[in-house]
Amino acid sequence: MTPLARRVAVTLAGGALLALGVMLIVLPGPAVLVIPAGLGVLSLEYGWARRLRERIVVWVRERR
């Protein structure tokens, strides 16, 4: 897989998961699980997603 094809695939998959998670905030479903999964996929290619995911992990660990 070429780097461009990988980036497109990661963007589409992560974006779809993230969009689904945002929809699940108002619809019945596990938004708390789907949003981090989408960020996890996007963090494979994007630094902003990696930083946001790390901030969320730290925030959750502090609340334990």
Token digits for 44?
């494979």
**How high is the pLDDT of residue 9?**
96
pTM of the model: 0.84
* CA distances (Å), origin 40, targets 20, 34, 51: 14, 10, 10
Note the pLDDT tens digit of each residue in 9-41. 999 999 999 999 999 999 999 998 999 999 999
Tell me how far apart the alpha carbons of residues 12 and 10 are, in angstroms, rounded to a whole number. 6
